[in-house]
Structure 1
C-alpha cells in the first residue's frame, strides 16, 4: 500500500455514495479503472495488516460501507468469473 491508500479508498466510497439514486450507477466511476470494488479490495488488504485496535476501528467503518454498498447494488445472477472469486463485493452489480 502507499501513503494515503486508505484515505483514497474511503474518498472513492464517499464520492460514489453521494451520487443520487437508490442504486449505484455503473457508468459513473471515480476514474476509469478505479471503481469502488477496487477500493474495497484495498480496505480488505489494509484491515488484515493492522494492529487489533486499528482493525476494529477501520472494521466498523468498513462494515458500514459494506451495508451501504450491498443496499445500493444487486446480486449478480450470472456465473462466477475471475472477479467474483475475490470479495463478495465483486459479485454485486450496479445499475446502468
Structure 2
C-alpha cells in the first residue's frame, strides 16, 4: 500500500467514519461506490491499517481492539464480492475490506 501521511485527526476521522457506516440501521450494508476518498469506507479502513502499522505497541493494541470489533461487524453485515479479485491483479492484491459487495 502506498504510504500516506497521518495528520492529527486523520485516524480519529477514519475511525468515526467506520463507526458511522456500521451504526446505520439494517441487517445488511453495501459498500458505497464513491470516487471521493474522503467518503469511501474502504479508504477509511486503509487509513486505520496504516495507523496500526505506524503506532507504537500500546497505542496499536488499543486501536487494534477497536478496529477488530468494527471489522467483525463489517464482515457480518457485508457480503463478499466474488468478482472483485478477478477484475485485475491490482484488485486481487487489495486488502479483504475491498472485496466486499458494493452498492449498485
TM-score w.r.t. the length of structure 1 is: 0.84
Report the alpha carbon displacement of residue 84 of structure 1 after superposing the two structures with TM.
4.2
Native 8 Å contact 2:80 2:99 kept in 1: yes
Match of 2:95 among 80, 84, 87: 87
Count residues in correspondence: 95
Structure having the higher helix fraction is 2
TM-aligned CA distance change 1:83 to 1:2, over 3 Å: farther
Secondary structure, counterpart of 1:7 in structure 2: helix
- Counterpart residue number, 2:17: 12
Native 8 Å contact 1:23 1:73 kept in 2: yes
- Counterpart residue number, 1:54: 59
Q: How does 1:29-48 map to 2 (within 5 A)?
A: 32-33=36-37, 34-48=39-53
Match of 1:74 among 79, 83, 86: 79
- Taking the aligned partners of 1:65 and 1:10, their CA distance within structure 2 comes to 9
TM-aligned CA distance change 1:16 to 1:79, over 3 Å: closer
TM-score w.r.t. the length of structure 2 is: 0.78
- Counterpart residue number, 2:3: none
**Per-residue deviation, residues 8-67 of structure 1 (Å, max 9, x unmatched):** 0111112111211111144587x9432111110000000101111111111111100110
